[in-house]
Amino acid sequence: MRPLLHPAKEDIQPEAILHALSDPDRAAIFIRIVGASCAPACSAVATVGDRVIPKSSLSNHFKVLREAGLIRSERCGVEMRNHSRCEEIDERFPGLLQAIMTAYASRTAGR
């Protein structure tokens, strides 16, 4: 298996975060990971609203989130567990994630 790319905290760039969270499905996935009490498996966040995201799309979404530095993924047997890196990002860019998640929440509440 190929190793997973996780950028160091100092290598995380705001434009990568903005790109990763510009997709509504990725934003929804990330918010579910942030709100989870434990690290959810990929399959646990495969539904957005009333639809299921195909596995191939889901894998790509996790890759974009991981390479942007938003999540840390760990192999756990046959599953992939995903952890939020919010604390690291808040240390580097205070308030950025909160502003993005607040904007996303207000946009989805208006639907």
Q: What is the pLDDT of residues 25-40, one digit of tens each?
A: 999 899 889 887 666 6
Single-letter code of the amino acid located at 25: D
Sign of CA dihedral 24, 103, 74, 3: positive
DSSP for residue 5: P
Separation CA 64–CA 103 (nearest Å): 20
Q: Is the pLDDT of residue 64 over 90?
A: yes
Mean pLDDT of the chain: 88
CATH class for domain 12-106? mainly alpha
Extents of the domains making up the chain:
12-106
- Predicted model pTM: 0.86
pLDDT tens digits for 91-103?
Answer: 999 999 999 989 9
